[in-house]
Amino acid sequence: MQKVKSLIKSIFPNAVKGEKKLRIDYKALSQLAFSNKENNQQLTKAITPLVLDEILRKAERYKNTTFVEVPLLFECGFEDRFDKTIVVLRDKNKRIESVKLRSKLSEEQIKKRMAFQVDYENKDLSKFIVINNDKDKEQLKEQVFALIKKISE
């Protein structure tokens, strides 16, 4: 984690506090990362490969089927690095409402962030497993458990 913090500090010095014990100022980092496309791409290209390497390193310890959540999977072109890719889709307005409740961000801030993400409404997802998350938690759980059972067989 120190490596990531140092890397972020080299890109956005105002987003990391401290000299020896570095602390990320997530509010400042978010403002910088979502202020323009160049900043967002610079951060994404620097950090995401490190995160994916760490995820894969940890996943290699398991001999059975392993599920991992990969941030910015499509944005970074990592979808082909896995045996299967599961996409959980949710209606855009429901996503916005959920994020507002969870993060206390405004709708404008959320939409600005979503503009940097893959446009799932127009992405061809035919080669991926897709779960629709537009109902309640119980139905989502049922879909996920059924899929896990099918994949693990």
Q: Is the dihedral of CA 59, 52, 15, 105 positive or negative?
A: negative
Report which DSSP code applies to 33: H
| Model pTM score | 0.78
| Alpha helices (H) in 34-120, listed in sequence order | 37-59, 92-103, 107-114
The label of the residue with tokens 């490596």 reads 3
Please report the pLDDT score of residue 19 as a whole number. Answer: 85
Please report the pLDDT score of residue 88 as a whole number. Answer: 92
Q: Answer yes or no: is pLDDT of 130 > 90.
A: yes
Distance separating alpha carbons of residues 26 and 2, to the nearest angstrom: 15
Report which DSSP code applies to 58: H
Please report the pLDDT score of residue 80 as a whole number. Answer: 87
More confident residue, 150 or 64: 150
Stretch 3-16: mean pLDDT: 92
Please report the pLDDT score of residue 66 as a whole number. Answer: 82
Q: Answer yes or no: is pLDDT of 63 > 80.
A: no
